[in-house]
């Protein structure tokens, strides 16, 4: 009986140790993914022409968000500037500008 109890305790301890190791590996993996996500993003600003009303930024934003690799779009109607965060491995600033231009709002990248 004592031998069976010792074996059961050893197996349980091994399982718990394996679970702890799996948890640590998962956390390290998540950090690696988060770090690589930060490395694959760029920000560009665009001057947007022909925006005449408060709903125009909605059309610009929707067009730019449809481009693969675009993560976020913020359009300021007052300044007529769009700020876009995107993955440069999937798209370019020129592609994003073209998307806005194609829906009637010519966009030009603002060089930093």
Q: Range of 92's domain?
A: 40-110
* pLDDT tens-digit readout, 53-102: 999 999 999 999 999 999 999 999 999 999 999 999 999 999 999 999 99
> Residue 56 maps to which CATH number?
3.30.70.100
Q: What is the per-residue pLDDT for 112?
A: 77
pLDDT of residue 54: 93
The reported pLDDT for the residue numbered 22 is 43
Q: Indicate if the pLDDT at residue 106 is higher than 50.
A: yes
Please state, in angstroms and rounded to a whole number, the distance separating the CA atoms of residues 60 and 85. 14
The whole-angstrom separation of Cα 44 and Cα 86 is: 8
Model pTM?
A: 0.67
Considering the domain architecture, whether residues 32 and 45 belong to the same structural domain is answered as no
Instruction: Yes or no: say if 57 and 107 are a contact pair by the CB < 8 Å rule.
Output: no
Question: Checking phi first, is residue 104 left (phi over 0); if not, alpha (psi -120 to 50) or beta?
Answer: left
Lookup: tokens for 99: 């998307």
Quick: pLDDT tens for 2-47. Answer: 556 556 555 555 555 554 444 444 445 555 555 555 569 999 999 9
For residue 97, CA distances in Å to 50, 59, 79, 111 come to 14, 13, 17, 13
Q: Within this chain, do residues 56 and 9 fall inside the same structural domain, yes or no?
A: no
Q: What's residue 111's pLDDT?
A: 92
In terms of domains, do 22 and 3 share one?
yes
CB 100, CB 46: distance < 8 Å: yes
- 81 shares a domain with 46: yes
Cα gap 72→79, rounded to integer Å: 18
33 against 50, higher pLDDT: 50
């Amino acid at each position: 009986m004592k031998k069976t109890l010792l074996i059961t305790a050893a197996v349980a301890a091994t399982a718990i140790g394996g679970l702890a190791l799996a948890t640590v590996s998962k956390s390290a993996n998540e950090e690696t993914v988060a770090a690589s996500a930060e490395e694959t993003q760029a920000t560009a600003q665009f001057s947007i022409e022909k925006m005449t009303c408060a709903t125009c930024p909605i059309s610009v934003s929707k067009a730019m968000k449809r481009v693969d690799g675009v993560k976020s779009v913020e359009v300021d109607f007052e300044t007529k500037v769009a700020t876009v965060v995107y993955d440069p491995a999937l798209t370019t600033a020129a592609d994003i500008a073209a998307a806005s231009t194609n829906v009637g709002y010519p966009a030009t990248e603002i060089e930093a």
